[in-house]
Amino acid sequence: MLSKKVEDALNAQVNAELWSAYLYLSMAHNFEADGKPGIANWFKVQFQEEQAHAEIFMNYINARGGRVWLKAIDAVDTEWATPLDAFNATLTHEQKVTSLINDLYALAEAERDYATREMLNWFISEQVEEEESAQELIDKFTLIGNDGMGIYMLDQELAARTYNVPSPLATAE
């Protein structure tokens, strides 16, 4: 059974994950419109991952006797001048999400909710991967600069990214 504090915090995280999905969908369509389908694909996969993260939290809330409360999703930016700008925004955003997950972990410990703390371990590892991935792309786009051929080649590379169902959802089915 979830405490009211933990249930409220997990519901806030559901909203944050859905906002993240909305942000990445916006980024995808920004680059789709700019003729960069590979970069758009990378963000579309990111959109799917964030939706899955929200689903993991919602499934957990229900499994622990809580109730999911979906709220309005705030507006997101809709334009990024360059891929580097978008990936810098991505890293900043993922660092914020990491902070939110860390706060949830601290709350679970304070509430002596060890089941929630254990569930959050997956998200902690996931956030390390998210930040690392964004930083890797920042490094690549920084190296490329304004070289059109380099951007084209990296766009082609990013087109190959595919969505993989996160393990907490794969085992639940």
Q: If you ran DSSP here, which 8-state letter would residue 65 be given?
A: T
Which of these, 81, 57, 66, 84, lies nearest to 144 by C-alpha position?
A: 84
Do 152 and 159 meet the contact criterion of CB atoms below 8 Å apart?
no
Tell me how crowded residue 122 is: count the other CB atoms within 10 A of its CB: 15
Instruction: Give the pLDDT of residue 172.
Output: 53
Threshold 0.85, pTM exceeds: yes
Q: How far apart, in whole angstroms, are the C-alpha atoms of residue 134 and residue 55? A: 22
Amino acid letter, residue 149:
M
Which of these, 85, 72, 75, 63, lies nearest to 25 by C-alpha position?
A: 75
Q: Is residue 142 part of a domain?
A: yes
Q: How far apart, in whole angstroms, are the C-alpha atoms of residue 164 and residue 173? A: 14
Q: Is residue 122 part of a domain?
A: yes
**Residues of the chain with confidence (pLDDT) below 70:** 172-173
Q: Is residue 53 part of a domain?
A: yes
CATH for 76: 1.20.1260.10
Assign residue 142 a region: left if phi > 0, alpha if psi is -120 to 50, beta otherwise?
alpha
Q: Is residue 171 part of a domain?
A: no
Residue whose tokens read 């003729």: 35
Our measurement of the distance from residue 97's CA atom to the centroid of its chain's CA atoms, rounded to an integer in Å, reads 8
Q: Is residue 149 part of a domain?
A: yes
Q: Is residue 10 part of a domain?
A: yes
Q: Is residue 173 part of a domain?
A: no
Which of these, 76, 11, 66, lies nearest to 43 by C-alpha position?
A: 76
Overall residue count recorded for the chain in this entry = 173
Q: Is residue 66 part of a domain?
A: yes
Q: How far apart, in whole angstroms, are the C-alpha atoms of residue 39 and residue 28? A: 7
Do 32 and 127 meet the contact criterion of CB atoms below 8 Å apart?
no
| Tens-digit pLDDT profile for residues 80-127 | 999 999 999 999 999 999 999 999 999 999 999 999 999 999 999 999
Looking at the structure of the chain, the number of domains it has is 1
Q: Which domain holds residue 107?
A: 4-166
